[in-house]
Amino acid sequence: MKWIQKIMVITMLIIGLDASGFAQESQDPAEKIGEDKFLQLSGPRVGLSIFFGEGAQKIKAKTNSNLPIITHIGYQFEFKMNSESGSFAALGELLPMISGLERGNLIPSLNGMFGMRQSKGFEVGAGLSLSTSGIGFLLGAGVSMEADEFNFPLNVIYSSNKQGSRVTFLTGFNSDAL
C-alpha cells in the first residue's frame, strides 16, 4: 500500500510543477483557449488490471494461473465544462466495461469519475466503480497524446474495494473527424 501512496505523491508533485499553466493569462480575450482546444475523449477503451490481495488470490484460483491479471474492453463517455480562462476543464466520465473475456468470464462493471484536465491533456480524477465484486473507489491520472486527427489517452487507475486493490492501465482512441 505504501507504493500506492508514493505514486500519488509523485503525481501530485508533477501536477504542482506543471501548475504554472493555470496562472498564465492571454493578452487578448480572443486568444484564450476555447472549447475546440480541449480534447474530446469519448471513445473505445481497452486495458488490463493487476490485482492485489484477496482479488488476486481469487483470480489465480479460478484460472490456474500465477498472474492476477484480467483484460477490459469498454466505451468511455465524457462530459466536460471549460473554465473561463480556458486553461482547464472539469470532467465527468462514465465507462461501462466488460472484463475477463480472455479467461472465459463475462464481468460487467460501470465506472464513473469526476476530475479535471489541463489544456495540455494531463488529467486527474476520482470516482466509484460498481461491479459484481461490489462498489470500489477509483483514483486515476492520465495524459492524452495527439497524432494527426486522432487522440490517444493513456490512463492509470488505482481501485480499491472489499476484495483488495488493483492497478488498471487503459488506452483507446477517438477522433473529432469521425
pLDDT in tens, 102-154: 888 889 999 999 999 988 889 999 999 999 888 999 999 999 888 888 889 99
Give the pLDDT confidence score for residue 12 in this predicted structure.
55
Q: Which three cell numbers stand for residue 37?
A: 482546444
Flag whether 1 is in a domain.
Answer: no
Judge whether 11 lies within some domain. Answer: no
Inside any domain, residue 31: no
The beta strand positions in the chain, using DSSP E, are: 43-52, 69-82, 88-99, 107-118, 123-131, 134-147, 150-161, 164-172, 174-175
How many domains, in total, are found in the chain? 1
pTM (whole model) above 0.85: no
Domain limits at 120?
44-175
Grid cell of 22 as nine digits: 493555470
Q: In terms of DSSP bridges, do strands 134-147 and 107-118 run parallel, antiparallel, or are they unpaired? A: unpaired
The answer to whether 55 and 134 are in contact (CB under 8 A) is no
Beta bridge partners of 60: none
Q: Is 35 helix (H, G, I), strand (E, B) or coil?
A: helix
- Per residue in 58-90, pLDDT (tens digit) is 888 877 778 899 999 999 999 888 777 778 889
Question: Is residue 128 one of the residues assigned to a domain?
Answer: yes
Is there a domain that residue 121 lies in? yes
The span from the CA of 165 to the CA of 156, in Å, is 13
pLDDT at 169: 97
- Amino acid, single-letter form, for residue 93: E
Output 17 or 28, whichever has higher pLDDT: 17
Is position 35 within any domain? no
The CB-side HSE value for 42 (13 A sphere, CA atoms) comes to 11
CATH code for the domain in which residue 82 is found = 2.40.160
Is 83 part of a structural domain of the chain?
yes
Q: Flag whether 28 is in a domain.
A: no
Q: For residue range 32-65, what is the model confidence (pLDDT) as tens digits?
A: 344 455 556 789 999 999 999 888 888 888 777 7
